[in-house]
Chains A and B, each alone.
Chain A
């Protein structure tokens, strides 16, 4: 909301300025670059040594990661729109923006509205090199949209629906409207141990550790880097 009001004020100021210019007849061109400069924020990550200490990556891996990151985002930060755009490119069939939104919130641990390289590295470090508990904790954090420590059915439905959106329209068998709901019900049946309608972190971790499939799948992405 604050961004919107700020933009409105800026627009009004510009209009008044241009009217003034029209009447007084100055020949200076509008300073278009003023606006542009304000939105470009440059961010530098903390040193390589510190990052290496905090994450599970080696120096070389961090270098590769940073080069790719900096290439895509020369300013050093990723905002949500860019993030959505990038993520959507991996899923051209459907609409990945909702899920990307949740992912963005999960990555943006400091809730600053943009992902810096440190956030990127920390998240990747957990997901690729972390322990099983850390991974499950991260996943719980992803599902918990309002970050209150509990996953309720609505949050889960949102997440599941977002995931199904990524599939797009053309699936086999065809998607029915209540498929997400059924999926959520199945999930809750498995995860909610005390049947109180919400899933806590401990319930979540416990249920996942009992499930063979999940345990096996967690080892899937180890060699991504």
Chain B
């Protein structure tokens, strides 16, 4: 129900008096209206632009931000107004909606910005008034198409293949995206060359060559050099067949591939040859066979794999199918009408060419398309009048659908251009983002190297401190806390990779020993050092590429009865805690990465991922409660 009608509710309730004498039962009690009835003016400040409106106006739509109590969150006590840090231009439209009950879409605004504003104020875009609904829907569809193109282009297969791709997948990729590997490119160009050769051979073999000795008649080259042409044809067909079979093998869905347009064209291109091989040499059948050779010209359509322009043209024709259909239909209608008229107009003339209505079709078509060959010309006056009307109307009928087709072509062409541009832009953007990220991590590492994390050494740190903003300080502090938590440090890729190579073997043994019965500060220290060298939390990319580091979100600490298990690990854990110097005191949980709980078996060799035995530090108790075993749930 439109909330604007809420103003009429009192009237409707008053009119209910009319039912009272008819009522056979008592009426229910009316609701008690607790809130104050007096209307007041509200001030709404949107980024400096002050709006004023009645409270009732906003109350009309109680399920929006402005109509509900949600706006109290934005109330500013000092200035006695509601402050929103949003676009003031857009707010005008929002407020107009409350005032008039109709939501209008401003044409000059970006549709996404508009939708975001609507979402913020809790208004669903479906209530846009009829006057603006069409424009809104068109723009929205355009926007969605554009976004869909982006994602499509991303998934188009420019992404690198997963390493475990089978031969089939690689082959398919090579066929679909020839620029990914040199072999594919070579194959691409070779097939292109052979298509061209085949088409040229088809054309040239019909050209008349000089006749062989002893004959007067001009022979088409195909018959003169029949062996040569046959060989060329065979070679081409062999290559095309091979290509088709390869594609069929590599296609992820053979059924779909077999039904696609390109595959049909391929088949039609090579079929005449095979049929010709099988066909016997008798005269009547070879007549039909000759017509089959016409289909060889379809090989030229194979070029559409190589040319984007051809594909666009095909796409255009497909999308304009309805316009073309209309053109055809209207032309047919007009042709029939005018042919009939011309026939009857010319019937009386002697020796006329207009022998029948179908014969007049040719005249009508030639006239309507303004070709005017002149092989059929009306003689009578009536014929000439109708002929002129025919040619005038022809111009109209043909000119009408053409702009639609042209505009469709232009739209699809620009879409393609845009897709390419967008892809290029995306690459640049990603590169920039990556650089920014690296810059941030480098800043932290630099900070560490400058000794900024040392406590109490204010003299040396003063210089470094000066160049950093408050934000950077806090961020670095946070990263530092994380380091202390996990007992590992950030480093860069280079260090990590070189350390990984050298220490992988030695690391494992040292770690298992640390988890076994060895205790004492030295071993734990060594192990920690080794761990620090070997296990790094470098970029997230590095850790991901290493494989299965699991991030755990929650930790459960369960109390177990004292002294039950794992005395060895107890000591090692103990030792480790003491060695930890944690600066950040008040945190209760830590995010740790661990593949298996370290306390299970002492000798368990951990999986090949660099495990980081995590320690949960309870801020409340300085002494680590031994009885607690850390059960880690991996989500």
Contact = CB atoms under 8 A, between A and B. Distances in A.
A216 B26 contact: yes
Q: Specify which of B14, B16, B19, B26 lies most central, judged by the most chain A CB atoms within 10 Å of its CB.
A: B14
A124 B12 CA distance: 10
Given A60-B38, A72-B5, A89-B2, A183 B22 contact: yes
A71 B98 CA distance: 11
Interface string B4-37: 1101111111111111111111110110110001
B319 to A, nearest CB: 33
A69 B7 contact: yes
A176 to B, nearest CB: 15
B283 interface: no
B78 interface: no
B17 A218 contact: yes
Interface string A93-125: 000000000010010000000000000100110
Tell me which of A67, A90, A186 has the highest count of chain B C-beta atoms within 10 A of its own C-beta.
Answer: A90
A168 interface: no
A153 to B, nearest CB: 13
Contacts of B30: 220-221, 223-224
B187 interface: no
Interface residues of A, number: 45
A139 B4 contact: no
Contacts of A142: 18
A90 B37 contact: no
Given A127-B14, A223-B33, A217 B27 contact: yes
Contact of A86 (B5, B24, B25): B5
A191 B1 contact: no
A92 interface: yes
A128 B14 contact: yes
B263 interface: no
B326 interface: no
Contacts of B23: 213-214, 217
Contacts of B2: 89
Nearest to B8: A86
Nearest to A216: B26
A15 interface: no
Contacts of A143: 18, 21
Contacts of A216: 26-27
B54 interface: yes
Nearest to B26: A213
A221 B16 contact: yes
A45 interface: no
Given A72-B8, A213-B26, A217-B27, A224 B14 contact: yes
B56 interface: yes
A163 interface: yes
Interface string B92-104: 0000000110000
A224 B7 CA distance: 11
A216 to B, nearest CB: 7
B375 interface: no
Given A220-B27, A223-B30, A214 B20 contact: yes
B5 A90 contact: yes
Interface string A132-143: 000110110011
Interface in A175-215: 183, 186-187, 191, 204, 208, 211, 213-214
Interface in B54-80: 54, 56
A150 interface: no
A142 B16 CA distance: 11
Contact of A224 (B13, B22, B26, B32): B13
B14 A208 contact: no
Contacts of B13: 221, 224
A11 to B, nearest CB: 25
A214 to B, nearest CB: 5
A64 B1 CA distance: 21
A71 B14 contact: no
Given A139-B20, A225-B10, 12 more contacts: A68-B8, A72-B4, A89-B1, A89-B2, A106-B18, A136-B21, A139-B21, A186-B24, A204-B21, A213-B23, A218-B20, A221-B16
25 contacts: A60-B38, A68-B7, A71-B4, A71-B7, A89-B1, A90-B5, A92-B1, A124-B11, A127-B17, A128-B10, A128-B14, A135-B17, A138-B17, A138-B18, A139-B20, A139-B21, A143-B18, A160-B22, A163-B22, A183-B22, A208-B21, A213-B23, A213-B25, A217-B26, A221-B17
